């Protein structure tokens, strides 16, 4: 059987098998398929393909369907037909399906780990964390929906006495559009609650990293999810994604991605006022180092916040603010930690694509051409033409202006470092950037942790730690550019509508 088929790919689940596949002289690019109504569409339904490259080598890895409008419409119609039956299933039945999905993913965990590493380029240890977290999403919501989440109120008003039951109903058919930076995790974080709360949907992962979404389709099939309940179509955002979110049958959109794409979705869906929109926008987050922090711990935490996933996280701490009293102590320790722990092929993966490589490089060229006050503490301007993968050395810049594109728009292994003097000043600097979603506060003063944390425009704040997060705590995009929600009751609120039923009380 050809190595481009799903059956062959499904068994490439050990390092030896994967490396053997890549060494094979007869290897051809993977040809991915759309998954609609629990079937993989034949190649004859695809007339255009998108080239997807392996970030670690720069070589062509996969051919991704550029799904046309008729394929997208087919998937949406299938999800629409599946909705009435699925929305009336019991929570127990849906919980069983979610646990089945989690079990199959657990069995094939290394398959997903190795292909996240190959398709996205992230280190294996990072890929394993994200795959395990993806599995946890399905188990979490499988348990969540079995809890009694209804409420009853006794009302006495205008001479009448009633009981009010709060009853939640599924929104309907959802468009799920995810970014490339955490391919499997972002998909799981939206599909799990979508299924849990009785919605059906069509998901479109990023065309830059679609392999694990393709493999996840097989998990849904093997878990015997009823046909049409969740469909996965592949393609670009401008064509496939735009057609999907614009469909009049789509009643909700859950999106993770960039500002421009989020704005385009709002514009495309403006006439459909009934649609629920949840737009989680990628950005850069601040790390604040106060003078009383343990400098070694602060350096390690700040470096991790910058360079995990090659800085390609919505919660990456790419802006580092250091109290002036410890700036000259902190910076050498940060640089030393980076040299020991983050380098090309050592702790750091490549960036996702040649386009993103060129974009990041252009910002670094701009920084290098600025006046002499901008300094590369680590890293440099990468080669114009990448060789053997899309690798950019971990880069720390000082002297960068706070309102420029280098500070606000780089989504990669680059951080800017600044000094501050007062709490009020650093809070203003952090909040002045509209692209932040989270924040890291490094201090030994617990009162300061609380005080500063309450004033930062961030949906999640870490104090003396980073990235560990309770799924039940959820995540809400507080910034003007986004309206995303996920986790716990926020996931419930995204995929259900609240209905109040009043009955007489005697």
Helix axes 109-119, 91-107, angle to 10 degrees: 70
Burial 101-132 (b: 16+ CB within 10 A, else e): bbbbbeebbbbbbbbbbbbbbbbeebbbbbbe
Catalytic residue among 199, 314, 407, 430: 314
DSSP string, 315-380: T---EEEEEGGGHHHHHHHHHHHHHHH-EETBEE---S-HHHHHHHHHHHHHHHTS-TT-EEEE--
Q: How many CB atoms lie within 10 A of CB 447?
A: 8
User: Which pLDDT score is estimated for 246?
Assistant: 95
Helix (H, G, I), strand (E, B) or coil at 164: strand
Q: How far is 112 from 102, CA to CA, in rounded Å?
A: 13
280 is catalytic: yes
From 472, 438, 443, select the one nearest 456 (Cα to Cα).
438
Q: How many CB atoms lie within 10 A of CB 487?
A: 23
Residue reference for tokens 């080239």: 51
Give the residue with greater pLDDT, 347 vs 501: 347
Residue reference for tokens 């051409």: 369
User: Which pLDDT score is estimated for 151?
Assistant: 60
- Banded pLDDT at 481 (limits 50, 70, 90): very low
User: Which pLDDT score is estimated for 152?
Assistant: 62
The structure tokens listed for 178 are 């995810």
Catalytic residue among 110, 130, 207, 280: 280
pLDDT in tens, 316-340: 888 999 999 999 999 999 999 999 9
Residue reference for tokens 């993913």: 105
**Residue 343: pLDDT above 80?**
yes
User: Which pLDDT score is estimated for 506?
Assistant: 63
User: Which pLDDT score is estimated for 406?
Assistant: 67
How close are the terminal C-alpha atoms of the chain, in Å? 70
**Residue 475: pLDDT above 80?**
no
pLDDT in tens, 181-223: 999 999 999 999 999 999 999 999 999 999 999 999 999 999 9
Output the CA angle 245-253-83, nearest 5 degrees: 90
The structure tokens listed for 140 are 């979490």
Average pLDDT, the chain: 88
Q: How far is 115 from 124, CA to CA, in rounded Å?
A: 9
The structure tokens listed for 255 are 């999106």
């Amino acid at each position: 059987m050809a190595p481009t088929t799903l059956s062959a790919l499904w068994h490439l689940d050990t390092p030896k098998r994967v490396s053997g596949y890549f060494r094979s002289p007869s290897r051809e690019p993977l040809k991915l398929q759309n998954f609609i109504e629990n079937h993989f569409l034949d190649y004859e339904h695809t007339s255009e393909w998108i080239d997807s490259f392996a970030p670690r080598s720069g070589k062509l890895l996969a051919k991704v369907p550029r799904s046309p409008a008729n394929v997208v419409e087919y998937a949406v119609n299938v999800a629409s037909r599946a909705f009435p039956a699925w929305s009336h299933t019991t929570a127990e039945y849906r919980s069983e399906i979610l646990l089945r999905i989690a079990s199959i993913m657990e069995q094939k965990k290394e398959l997903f780990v190795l292909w996240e590493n190959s398709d996205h380029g992230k280190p294996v240890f990072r890929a394993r964390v994200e795959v395990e977290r993806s599995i946890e999403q399905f188990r979490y919501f499988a348990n969540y929906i079995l809890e009694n989440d209804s409420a009853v109120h006794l009302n006495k008003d205008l001479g009448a006495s009633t009981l009010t039951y709060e009853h939640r109903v599924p929104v309907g058919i959802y468009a799920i559009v995810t970014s490339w930076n955490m391919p499997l995790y972002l998909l799981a974080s939206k599909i799990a609650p979508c299924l849990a709360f009785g919605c059906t949907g069509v998901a479109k992962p990023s065309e830059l990293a679609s392999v694990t979404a393709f493999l996840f389709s097989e998990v849904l099939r093997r878990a015997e999810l009823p046909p049409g309940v969740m469909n996965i179509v592949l393609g670009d955002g401008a064509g496939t994604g735009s057609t999907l979110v614009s469909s009049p049958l789509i009643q909700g959109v859950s999106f993770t991605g960039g500002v421009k794409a989020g704005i385009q979705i709002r514009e495309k869906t403006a006439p459909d006022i009934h649609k629920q929109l949840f737009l989680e926008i990628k950005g850069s987050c601040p790390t604040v180092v106060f003078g009383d922090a343990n400098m070694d711990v602060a350096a390690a935490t700040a470096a991790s916040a910058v360079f995990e996933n090659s800085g390609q996280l919505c919660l990456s701490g790419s802006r580092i603010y250091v109290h002036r009293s410890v700036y000259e102590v902190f910076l050498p320790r940060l640089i030393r930690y980076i040299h020991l722990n983050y380098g090309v092929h050592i702790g750091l993966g490549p960036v996702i694509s040649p386009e993103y490589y060129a974009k990041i490089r252009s910002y670094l060229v701009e920084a290098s051409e600025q006046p002499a006050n901008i300094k590369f503490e680590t890293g440099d301007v990468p080669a114009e033409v990448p060789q053997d993968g899309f690798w950019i050395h971990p880069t720390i810049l000082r002297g960068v202006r706070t309102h420029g594109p280098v500070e606000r728009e780089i989504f990669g292994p680059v951080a800017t470092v600044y000094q501050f003097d007062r709490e009020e000043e650093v809070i203003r600097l952090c909040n002045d950037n509209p692209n932040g979603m989270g924040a890291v506060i490094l201090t030994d003063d617990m009162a300061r942790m609380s005080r500063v944390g309450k004033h930062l425009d961030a949906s999640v704040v870490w104090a003396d730690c980073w990235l560990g997060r309770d799924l039940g705590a959820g995540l809400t995009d507080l910034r003007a550019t986004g309206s995303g929600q996920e986790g716990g009751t926020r996931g419930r609120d995204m995929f259900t509508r609240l209905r109040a039923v009043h009955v007489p009380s005697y």
